Structure 1
Amino acid sequence: MKICCYFRDAKMFISRALRAIDHPYIMGKGGRMENNKKPMQGLTMKSLAHHKALQPLFIIIGGGMVFVAAYCARLAVKTTDVNWSKVKDPADTYGYYDGKQFKFLNPAGVDYSRYGQDRPNYKE
């Protein structure tokens, strides 16, 4: 119990000390707090229009973020690794993928129409 009290007192002391900082470097004109309120250069439409070299960067990074989000959504919906159904028997869930391509790319041209047909039936 005493350790908890000491930790609470130390935490209160540190937070009071940090709130008491009133140095011109931090709070004054041109200080850190004033500069933290402004958006970074290149993140407003006005500054982005001025810096032509940043425009392709924003487009490429934005496209990459959209692709990653779409691929994560596809992984959550289409693959066998994630199960969204409430069925207790996993054979019913994974039987859904028999004869379907669930991989993103198929460069080898594998025929998935016969996928899962050669599996032994353990229920019989």
Structure 2
Amino acid sequence: MFMSRVLRAVDHPYITGKGGRAANNSTPMQGLTMKSIKHHKALQPLFAIIGGGMVFVAAYIVRLAAFTTDVNWSKVKDPADTYGYYDGKQFKFLNPAGIDYSKAGLDRPKYTE
């Protein structure tokens, strides 16, 4: 408690004066406000590309969490019900070879029988 009182009582020009750490930490960095983005034309494509990349990464993470067999959101105790959900369904995102997945997985032996 004593140490925190001492640190809050610091009134040195290096901390609170003009150009000090307190003033520098309260203003946003250059390039992070709309005014500075409009001024620096070279940063605009950078922000667009990075923002687009972040959107695609977020969409891919949502796809992985929702549509893969690695993540199980159901509370079914029998694993055959859980993993059998994808039998006869296309699991891949793209299918450039045109493979028919309607019969995929149906020829596997059933371990419960």
**Quick check: 1:99–1:116 contact (8 Å CA) kept in 2?**
yes
Counterpart check, 1:54 vs 2:46: no
Question: Which residues of structure 2 form unaligned runs of 5+?
Answer: none
Could you report, residue by residue, the CA deviation over 1:43-78 in whole angstroms, capped at 9, with x for unpaired residues?
111111100000000000000000000000000100
Aligned-residue RMSD, C-alpha: 1.8
Q: Which residue of the partner structure matches residue 73 of structure 1?
A: 62
Q: Which residue of the partner structure matches residue 7 of structure 2?
A: 18
Q: CA 1:106–1:16 in 2, change beyond 3 Å: closer, same or farther? A: farther
Aligned residues: 113
Q: 1 CA distance for matches of 2:83 and 2:105?
A: 10
Of Structure 1 and Structure 2, which has the larger fraction of its residues in helix? Answer: 1
Report the Cα offset of residue 33 of structure 1.
0.7
Question: Which residues of structure 1 form unaligned runs of 5+?
Answer: 1-11
Q: Which residue of the partner structure matches residue 9 of structure 1?
A: none
Q: 1 CA distance for matches of 2:90 and 2:6?
A: 61
Alignment partner of 1:52: what SS? coil
Q: 1 CA distance for matches of 2:11 and 2:95?
A: 62
